[in-house]
Amino acid sequence: MANIFHSIFRAFSPSLWGRGGAARSDRAGVGPRIGFGYDVHRLVEGRPLWLGGILIPHTHGLLGHSDADVLIHAICDALLGAANLRDIGFQFPDTDEAYRGIDSKILLRRTADLLHRRGYRVGNIDATVCAEHPKLNPHIEEMKAVLAPLMDITTDDVSLKATTTERLGFTGREEGISAYAVALIEKTE
């Protein structure tokens, strides 16, 4: 029995640990790459609620150095992660006065430009926003129409979902809104 396991190990090991190492470095960045992003911002009175690139009527808005668009930030982090370009705080530091109050759509466009310069194109995005209020489903199609062209993709390639957390946790208590995103990117050359 031990010989069988040994044979199986030998059959798979070259691609996992052996010459596969050299092969991987030759092919660095080729093929589809996946990235993940997560962000949270606090809800406060007296701020506009920017989410998915649009202004949504609400009693509270998100607090942050920029416009605090938590959905766009999660998407930026997913894209940057897919290209192994760190994260939004690294690329656009919140200590930089240039980014104070900035429209996050500009950050998403700059993120897409960073990827394009490295030979990547965006494949598709899938994201989920966790918020108790306001209800986001009526705004999803408008968000997709705003976000897709910033990444040079169509609305078919932008999936946006909204959920509550069943009144549990900080989103359930309406202390903040969180967003998760995954992104697929591909080399164009």
- Residue ranges in contact with Zn ion by CB under 5 A: 39, 73
**Helices 140-150 and 104-117, axial angle in degrees (round to 10):** 40
Angle ∠(48,51,56) on CA atoms, nearest 5? 50
CB nearer to Zn ion: give 58 or 65: 65
Q: How far is the CB of 17 from Zn ion (least distance, A)?
A: 38
Q: How far is the CB of 62 from Zn ion (least distance, A)?
A: 8
CB nearer to Zn ion: give 103 or 188: 103
Tell me the DSSP string of 117-141. HTTEEEEEEEEEEE-SSS--GGGHH
Q: How far is the CB of 105 from Zn ion (least distance, A)?
A: 13
Q: How far is the CB of 70 from Zn ion (least distance, A)?
A: 6
> Do the beta carbons of residue 125 and residue 75 sit within 8 Å?
yes
CB nearer to Zn ion: give 170 or 188: 170
CB nearer to Zn ion: give 54 or 123: 54
Residue nearest to Zn ion (CB): 73
CA distance 116 to 52: 22
